[in-house]
Homo-oligomer: A and B are copies of this chain.
Amino acid sequence: MISIERIPSVEFLGDAMPFVGRISEIIEVIQLFEDFEPDELEGLARYMRCYRAPLGTEIIREGDEGDFMMLVLDGSIEIVKKDVRGLPQIMGTAGPGKTLGEMSLIDGEPRFASCIALDKVEVAVLDRESLSRIIADEPRIGVKLMMELLMLLNQRLRGVSAQLLECMEARRSRIR
């Protein structure tokens, strides 16, 4: 399991409590926390750890095992995935309020894509152990967080499924 602490040049900033102000600033775009009240957000922030990384840092590497997701607080991150020939393809970028890495947080399976800092970035990290502790210690917040994660994955699944159908249609009409 690759912990974010093991990545050179990543600086640990402590728990997310000092960042609650920043999280509240960007809360409208944080889909994951959209139904969280201020006190719930503070409850959650105690379980998240913040990090800063300079431009170019590969914070998550495709294929690595990982067990954390991260919320972008500042800066932006490029999502890159290798194609069949092993050439990196840019899948998108994620700015403040976006979350990355939820899939491996949930199943611990290898990372689907890499995440590279496009400038100096600050992120709040939630790992599996913290998620388990939230559920055990603060079940109300834990259940809410799980429900938000379900909504998020669900929305992505609908989006990707629609894209897949479109792609298959396009291939079919080309073959015809």
A93 within 8 A of B: no
| A158 in contact with B103 (CB, 8 Å) | yes
The answer to the question of A20 belonging to the interface, with a C-beta cut-off of 8 Å to chain B, is: no
Q: Does A4 contact B (CB under 8 A)?
A: no
Do B169 and A170 touch across chains, with their CB atoms under 8 A apart? no
- Copies of this protein in the assembly total 2
A142 to B170 CA separation, bound complex (whole angstroms): 41
Which residues of chain B are within 8 angstroms of A160 by Cβ–Cβ distance? Answer: 157, 160-161, 164
Verify A169–B106 contact, CB threshold 8 A: no
Contact A153 B155 (CB under 8 A): no
Is A25 positioned at the interface, with any CB of B under 8 Å from its CB? no
Interface code A137-152, partner B: CB below 8 Å = 1, 0 otherwise?
A: 0010011001101110
Interface: A154 (CB within 8 A):
yes
Given A161-B112, A164-B160, also A151-B106 (CB < 8 A): yes
Whether A109 sits at the interface, judged by CB under 8 Å, is yes
Q: How far, in angstroms, from A165 to B167 measured CA to CA in the complex? A: 10
Question: Could you pull out 7 A-B pairs where Cβ atoms are within 8 angstroms?
Answer: A106-B151, A112-B158, A143-B146, A146-B147, A146-B150, A149-B150, A163-B164
Given contacts A164-B167, A171-B171, 9 further A-B contacts (CB under 8 A): A83-B169, A106-B150, A109-B158, A135-B143, A139-B139, A150-B150, A153-B153, A160-B164, A167-B171
